[in-house]
Structure 1
Amino acid sequence: MYPDSKNEPLKPGDRLYILMKGKSAATTNVVSIIDEYTCLIEEALMRGKRMPMNPGDDLDVFFYREDGIYSFRGIVNEAVSRYGVRLYKISVSGETFQKQRRAFHRLQRNLPVSITLNVDKNQVIRRIDIQARTLDISAGGSRIELPDPIGKDTSISCRITLTDNRDLNLSSVVVRVIEGDQPGDLPQIGVKFKDMDERSRQELVKFISEEQHRQTGS
């Protein structure tokens, strides 16, 4: 499936994140490719429950690649049944396939984050826990405001609270340190997530896509 020949095509097994107006994000997988603009997908699940879709429904579809999150506007063509399993044919609706302008869409959102790092003081390794908050977050990293700066290239662990019952524990490295411009401004750090497992990546991409959809009201 080639929504745009300049981009890597979808293929069977790809995980998709589907957004419909007034609903939370749902996840599904590509079953097969029908033609360059149409694919067959599994029934989408929204927080463990099936998300009903009908022919003619408009969809915002997101999927992940190593260089970022891609999205396209789609439409449900028809529902089909194979071996008792409900599947859906969806197509790209118009020339709307596009890559986010940033490699990773950056969501402006304050989220609680607990930072843990090990400090060597007088040849004694001490664990330090810092309570902070994100200023923005993407699938690749985050900008964090915290009480005291942390040096560049420091390896840290970030436990980010997405919602009341959704936490992510992510190994990270500090790639940038930003001092406050005005008296009283708190320092900021830019961190890059590393060695993220696929489940955490999917959870973060789903959260960002859902929040983007909610903020834009599309």
Structure 2
Amino acid sequence: MTIAMPMSKGLPVLMRRGEIFFGRTVINSLAFEFTSALLAKQINPLPIWIVAVPYNIKKIQQRAFVRLDVALPVQIAKMEDGQVIDEPVINAVTKDISGGGIQIATTNEWQIGSKLLVTVDYQDIGAITLKSEVVRVQQPQPDRVLFWVGIKFLEISERDRGNIIKFIFKKQLEQRRKGLE
């Protein structure tokens, strides 16, 4: 396998032939870590490393926001062409929340890419309504009609995001204090 020669502070990373290294790569927005060994270096026409086939490949999470496991009430309306569809509003509960989205537990199985108008009732902050999109759907138990739906916020003001993040940190602090008692 050939990779661009790694650089650090504008200088090539120095390694000897046969030396083992750990690397990271992003493929289709998914991040992976791996182990490999340097087989050879080449400077011309481009500085590259020839490396052994990677092993110990692991998918890694690269979340931009801290997640908090918490059950909060959620109301969801489906959207098409930027407008709410006249269907009944679905009531659900969050599994976890972050500054970038939520995961809910629901009996509704939305398709990935579905656009939703999501209202989460955050204790102490109040309700926040945001245009969102389904990014992940899991069915944890095949014999039950229950889905875990990952939803990312599409449009969120920095004020709303900041309030959500403050809420998360406050709840984490409360949980830590309870753990110390």
TM-score range, shorter chain: 0.5 to 0.7
* 104, 108, 111: which one aligns with 2:69: 108
Gaps in structure 2 of 5+ consecutive residues = 1-61
Q: Which residue of 2 aligns with 1:14?
A: none
The AA in structure 1 aligned to 2:69 is Q
Distance, in Å, in 2 between the alignment partners of 1:119 and 1:202 is 28
Measure how far apart 1:164 and its partner are: 6.8
Secondary structure of the corresponding residue to residue 93 of structure 2? strand
Q: RMSD of the TM alignment (CA)?
A: 2.2
Q: How does 1:161-176 map to 2 (within 5 A)?
A: 161-163=121-123, 166-176=126-136
Letter paired with 1:131: N
* Percent identical: 34
Matching residue within 160, 163, 173 for 1:200: 160
SS in 2 for 1:159: strand
Given residue 74 of structure 2, which amino acid in structure 1 is its aligned partner?
V
TM-score, structure 1 length as denominator? 0.48
Residue 189, structure 1, aligned to residue 149, structure 2: yes
Alpha-carbon deviation of 1:136?
A: 0.4
Equivalent pairs counted in the alignment come to 114
Q: Which runs of 5+ in 1 are unaligned?
A: 1-100
Is 1:118–1:126's contact at 8 Å kept on the other side of the alignment? no
2:91 corresponds in structure 1 to 131
Return the TM-score normalized by structure 2: 0.57
Instruction: Indicate the SS of the match to 1:126.
Output: coil
